Structure 1
Amino acid sequence: MTKDDPIYARVAALKIKTPTELRELWRDLMGTEPPPFTRRYLETRLGYRIQELAYGGLKPETVKRLEKLGEQLDGGDYMKRRIRTDLKPITGTRLVREWQGVEYVVTVTTDGYEWEGRPYQSLSSIARAITGTRWSGPVFFGLNNYRRRK
């Protein structure tokens, strides 16, 4: 796709469309109602769809290969596959938070998080253990800005 390509122009034009225009385009290209997600989400999915319609989608062999790789990663657990991993920092990331003069370090693992040598399923449970009150874990560890950038 070069800058002279009309498909490039269509994808680039998504940036200047209004939210209403993006939703209308979604209905035209996807054949469904648009999801209630962010503008960025709509732009990226529509950009992919425009290119897919123009150049063709993934080959069936590629789709099968991706499904096979997914099964190797999650053991065939469909629900695990549906979890949005793009909202979670990369495995091995260390989250550091100072709370009431004490520094707390949490490590992101493939299955969740680790703090003080113990595994946790969520950051919120760690934040609750640290503060003694209910907190949103992503807010406590400052990940909301990270999620918005994604």
Structure 2
Amino acid sequence: MMRRSSAQRALPSPSPLVPTFPAIPPADVLGRLAALHTAPIAHLKRQWRELYGQEPPPFSRSYIQSRLAYRIQELAYGGLRPETVARLEALGEQLDGGNVVLRRIRADHRPLPGTRLLREWQGVEHVVTVRPDDFEFEGRPYRSLSAVARHITGTRWNGWTFFGLKPARGGA
């Protein structure tokens, strides 16, 4: 029977269930971030698989680009410290009190209550205040931004577009 010396002992192999991700040298970060803007979507999806170890989500190019930019920096410089993650979670709980419905509303890009939306229309500046369940304009509650936009213009508008929260269709 042969015995291995301590230098010859086999090291345990990483678990096949735990993915390993490439280390990114900090010197490469700026170049990789710049390349994201011109890379074809197929290349971005390939990078996603490499850096996240899973299939990319079926979202827009800008979403994939921004998440890849974060991931590249995370792998180069390290992620958030556990204390920071805990603090962010605590702040989120303060905002919505653990209410999943409110969390979903924010996930749908609704501005936080207290946000003031400004819009100049025909030389007059209009201010709308976002409230938890509606919008306030000129001291009156409105159920939607579209109702506010219609009051201001006299015509039907998508309120999110009118107040610049969503780009208008067909144009830049």
TM surpasses 0.5: yes
Code of the residue aligned with 2:121 in structure 1: it is R
The percentage of counterpart residues that share the same residue type is: 50
Task: Please give the alpha-carbon distance, in whole angstroms, between the structure 1 residues aligned to 2:164 and 2:85.
Answer: 36
Aligned to 1:33: 55
1:76 matched to 2:98? The reply is yes
Task: Please give the alpha-carbon distance, in whole angstroms, between the structure 1 residues aligned to 2:46 and 2:143.
Answer: 39
Aligned to 1:109: 130
Aligned to 2:23: none
With 137-146 and 112-121 compared, the bigger mean Cα shift is at 137-146
Equivalent positions of 1:1-150 (< 5 A) are 5-82=27-104, 83-84=106-107, 88=111, 91-98=115-122, 105-111=126-132, 112-127=134-149, 135-145=157-167
Task: Please give the alpha-carbon distance, in whole angstroms, between the structure 1 residues aligned to 2:111 and 2:146.
Answer: 13
Instruction: Answer whether contact 1:115 1:126 (CA < 8 A) is retained.
Output: yes
With 70-79 and 133-142 compared, the bigger mean Cα shift is at 133-142
Tell me the alpha carbon deviations over residues 87-139 of structure 1, each in whole angstroms, 9 at most, x when there is no partner.
649822322335xxx96824132535211312334312334556787642123
Instruction: Answer whether contact 1:97 1:141 (CA < 8 A) is retained.
Output: no
**What secondary structure is seen at the aligned counterpart in 2 of 1:44?**
helix
Task: Please give the alpha-carbon distance, in whole angstroms, between the structure 2 residues aligned to 1:41 and 1:87.
Answer: 18
With 53-62 and 36-45 compared, the bigger mean Cα shift is at 36-45
How many residue pairs were aligned? 140
With 6-15 and 104-113 compared, the bigger mean Cα shift is at 104-113
Instruction: Answer whether contact 2:118 2:163 (CA < 8 A) is retained.
Output: no
CA RMSD after TM alignment:
3.3
Instruction: Answer whether contact 2:116 2:127 (CA < 8 A) is retained.
Output: no
Go from structure 1 to structure 2 and tell me whether the alpha carbon gap of 1:79 and 1:49 turns closer, same or farther (over 3 Å shift).
Answer: farther
Go from structure 1 to structure 2 and tell me whether the alpha carbon gap of 1:8 and 1:62 turns closer, same or farther (over 3 Å shift).
Answer: same
Code of the residue aligned with 1:125 in structure 2: it is A
Go from structure 1 to structure 2 and tell me whether the alpha carbon gap of 1:145 and 1:21 turns closer, same or farther (over 3 Å shift).
Answer: same
Q: Which runs of 5+ in 1 are unaligned?
A: none
Q: Which runs of 5+ in 2 are unaligned?
A: 1-25
